[in-house]
Chains A and B, each alone.
Chain A
């Protein structure tokens, strides 16, 4: 019955279905593209950010000597101009800490790190920078270090003695090409010569201007520190939502400072949340508009088919049967429109993924990113059925309440 009515109004039905196809296509494409971009931007920072970072912060000691004195303990003591205590930067007993962390099943891996302030001596001037001493293998396994080494091989960092991978910005300033040797002076005054084996480019210019990488042992040697010297312990978790809790937990156990990724990168979360909200809003608006289209077409169909509805009722179709017919039409339009829309949306996604998108700042990206998360397809599919159901519901109710006597008497 529903089929015959649809075929009778094939053109309008097809127009309605095209509306649904279009909106579903746009919905899926838009969300896929938006979230692809979101993930790209998030990964730019989040991928390389440890989920938890343990370190010793330079800070004034919370208890001043006067408070330890028996004599003055019960007094209100005011101490002005407190300076940070000369505490050690190195994490005490870090080998034991790393071992404990590695035994935790929630943790994917641990990478120790040393950050050292240095000057690169370029002719008569000094360029300041930071050399990160890293565990090359763990760093690339956990934080995709190798992805950002745009020239040279990151493994050389480990295999070549006194090797350095310079930030792209720093290298450009120093006119240092691969194979060159750069002179580095540490804050303590030690001088060392390092061989450039590659360039590092994160896409964040500010970082690339100052950050350089060397193996952890090179940096320890440079600073004149023993192999146990580690200033940061970076942790990657299976589920980074656990980070805040675990940071607190281990911070208390080890008595060192810990930062979790959520706290450090709160603004990224907020940004991507708002972006996806906007794309959902646009997609849903499209669907609702196409819902109105279906509503209109069904309404017209009912006016045209008054006679048919009347006679169907006269020969024994109940209001519910008539209702069902029009709901079926609407849902059919929604279903086929939705399926086609999802298909075209997928194709459009594939198309967008082919568009070249190369930026110097984003070395790992060659084409526009698209997220093919099935979640968006499910949402779009469900939503197309829901909107078309409601678009059909009101015309169908109207059709079911048509009084056949009114129509037949009018003839």
Chain B
């Protein structure tokens, strides 16, 4: 499976227009192949988060080409992009973004319900499996706001895995956690990479975290400094 490109960025440029026109990404190009565990490093303000939002198709205001699963996504309409996000990308953010109105299990199921390819029973079963990976199965019926910070982040990761995405994108997934919990989360990522060969692209400013990944892309001033 290795070698097939999952994500390909070609000469991506991005401008911010307020307060004045600034170029935040300068000709960023790289490729992520299947099974890679990549981290993007850099100081805050270097454009790494901006890059991630573009790669995740949420931000469409850029120049250059983006291919996901060898499909050109630049210029696709919003509905198609939503579909791609739902099907092929899993997200983990700095903040967990769980929905407090729902139980843990339902939170994990939401992407699956949206994809609407399996029955509810099947989805419940899959969601349970995902929770089990993170040892969270006992909390499945709790409301999301009854969990601790570290538990919430683990549920968020379980949610990102729900549709067996092609790639997981993380934006400082350990940024909000204490040492103990961020170690746990890091261990989870490591496991996903080693046992499930999950392709992952994680933005972080934590050198320790980056050191544990297969490949580090270092950014500075909107440019790829080192790959």
Q: Give the interface of A toward B (CB within 8 A).
A: 4-5, 7-8, 307-308, 310-321, 403-405, 408-409, 411
Contact = CB atoms under 8 A, between A and B. Distances in A.
A249 B176 CA distance: 91
Shortest beta-carbon contacts, A-B, top 6: A316-B86, A318-B82, A311-B97, A4-B101, A316-B85, A8-B101
Contacts of A4: 99, 101-102
B78 A318 contact: yes
Interface string B55-70: 0101100000000000
Interface stretch (B31-39, B108-116, B123-131): B108-116
Interface of B: 49, 53, 56, 58-59, 78-79, 82-87, 91, 93-95, 97, 99-102, 110-111, 114-115, 159-160, 171
Given A308-B99, A409-B53, A411-B94, A315 B111 contact: yes
Contacts of A8: 100-101
Main secondary structure of the interface of B (DSSP, over half): helix
Which of A315, A320, A321, A408 gathers the greatest number of chain B CB atoms within 10 Å?
A315
Given A4-B99, A8-B100, A409-B49, A314 B56 contact: yes
A318 B79 contact: yes
17 contacts: A308-B101, A314-B56, A314-B58, A315-B86, A315-B114, A315-B159, A315-B160, A316-B85, A317-B86, A319-B78, A405-B53, A408-B58, A408-B93, A408-B95, A409-B49, A409-B53, A411-B93
A409 B58 CA distance: 12
A311 B82 CA distance: 12
Nearest to A314: B91
Contact of A5 (B59, B101, B160): B101
A316 B79 contact: no
A305 to B, nearest CB: 9
A172 to B, nearest CB: 74
Nearest to A315: B111
B60 to A, nearest CB: 10
Nearest to A9: B101
A409 B86 CA distance: 20
A411 B95 contact: yes
Given A4-B99, A405-B53, A405-B58, A316 B93 contact: no
Contacts of B102: 4
A405 B53 CA distance: 7
B97 A307 contact: yes
Which of A4, A321, A405 gathers the greatest number of chain B CB atoms within 10 Å?
A405
A314 B57 CA distance: 9
A70 B131 CA distance: 116
Contacts of B49: 409
A317 B101 contact: no
Given A315-B91, A321-B114, 17 more contacts: A308-B97, A311-B93, A312-B110, A313-B82, A314-B58, A314-B97, A315-B86, A315-B160, A316-B86, A316-B111, A316-B115, A318-B79, A319-B78, A321-B82, A405-B58, A405-B59, A408-B171
A314 B85 contact: yes
Contact of B83 (A310, A316, A319, A403): A316
A332 B110 CA distance: 22
A292 B58 CA distance: 33
Contacts of A319: 78-79, 82
Contacts of A5: 101
A403 B78 CA distance: 11
B15 to A, nearest CB: 15
Nearest to B54: A405
Nearest to B115: A316
A315 B100 CA distance: 16
A308 B97 CA distance: 7
Contacts of B171: 408
